[in-house]
């Protein structure tokens, strides 16, 4: 290995260590916060409550979201389409720990199996060091599941269609569009969505009426570093991803 290559590797490792240190710092800052007991799992609790409310005959979206006039989006507003019942209904039954363990475990396993090149390490560490990433994970935000869907999509492209569960990041679903099976999964999700057509229309109203910093598609920009982790690993992959058939679209 040349001196130049050795220096480049040293710089990559140093940047990775620094970014990882910041990631640990931010995750630790949340863990030590006096507000931590209320913050952990607050997003999961919100959607569990809304789903339970709907299953017992109540409204899914809050009345102020559907009045026809603008409202200020704040914590408690329901912003996901009803198609996400595919996530939230099972979440009512499964132990809370699995809400984190499944997406984080799946993503970690697949990223490791890709054996990403060294140039990806600081980028992945930087995504983890991005402050909203720790917030999303501690709060139990469904963005974790979108990340896991993208991770699975690196070995089975149709899984990318599940990004449609969060329309504000739906363009990333096109990662699997070159696989014909992706179109079949997308059509299946569209058919399921039609079963909730009245709620779909309510969701559109709730989104259209929302005002404030958390309104609009730009709000989901904070999710992108978390979602980028498996894509960065895939871009720098040095081994074929592990799957039962080990076959996927190019």
pLDDT in single tens digits along all 250 residues of the chain: 455 567 666 777 776 777 677 667 766 765 666 655 566 889 999 999 999 999 999 999 988 888 877 888 888 888 899 999 999 999 999 999 999 999 999 999 999 999 998 889 889 988 988 888 888 998 999 999 999 999 999 999 999 999 999 888 999 999 999 999 999 999 999 999 999 999 999 999 988 888 877 666 567 788 999 999 999 999 998 755 454 444 444 4
Confidence at residue 156, expressed as pLDDT on a 0 to 100 scale = 96
pLDDT of residue 7: 66
User: Quick one: CA dihedral 211, 189, 54, 166, positive or negative?
Assistant: negative
Q: Please name which of 52, 85, 110, 71 lies closest in space to residue 195, comparing C-alpha atoms.
A: 85
**Spatial contact of 239 and 166, defined as CB atoms under 8 Å apart:** no
Per-residue pLDDT, 13: 74
Give the chain's length.
250
Q: Structure pTM?
A: 0.84
Query: Radius of gyration over alpha carbons of the chain, in Å?
Result: 20
Predicted pLDDT at 218: 62
pLDDT at 107: 97
């Amino acid at each position: 290995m040349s001196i130049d290559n050795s220096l480049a590797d040293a710089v990559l490792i140093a940047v990775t260590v620094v970014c990882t240190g910041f990631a640990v710092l931010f995750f630790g800052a949340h863990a030590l916060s006096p507000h931590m007991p209320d913050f952990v799992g607050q997003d999961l609790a919100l959607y569990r409550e809304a789903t339970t409310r709907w299953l017992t005959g109540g409204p899914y979206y809050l009345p102020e979201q559907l009045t026809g006039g603008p409202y200020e989006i704040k914590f408690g507003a329901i912003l996901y389409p009803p198609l996400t019942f595919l996530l939230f209904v099972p979440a009512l039954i499964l132990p809370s720990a699995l809400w984190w363990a499944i997406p984080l475990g799946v993503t970690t396993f697949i990223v490791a199996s890709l054996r990403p090149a060294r140039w990806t390490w600081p980028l992945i560490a930087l995504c983890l060091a991005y402050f909203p990433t720790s917030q999303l994970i501690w709060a139990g935000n469904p963005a974790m599941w979108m990340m896991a869907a993208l991770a699975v999509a690196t070995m089975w492209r149709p899984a990318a269609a599940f990004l449609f569960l969060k329309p504000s990041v739906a363009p990333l679903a096109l990662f699997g569009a070159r696989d014909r099976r992706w179109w079949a999964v997308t059509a299946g999700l569209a058919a399921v969505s039609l079963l909730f057509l009245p709620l779909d229309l309510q969701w559109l109203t709730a989104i259209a009426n929302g005002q404030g910093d958390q309104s609009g598609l730009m709000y989901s920009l904070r999710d992108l570093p978390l979602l980028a982790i498996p894509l960065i690993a895939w871009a720098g992959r040095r081994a074929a991803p592990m799957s039962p058939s080990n076959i996927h679209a190019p």
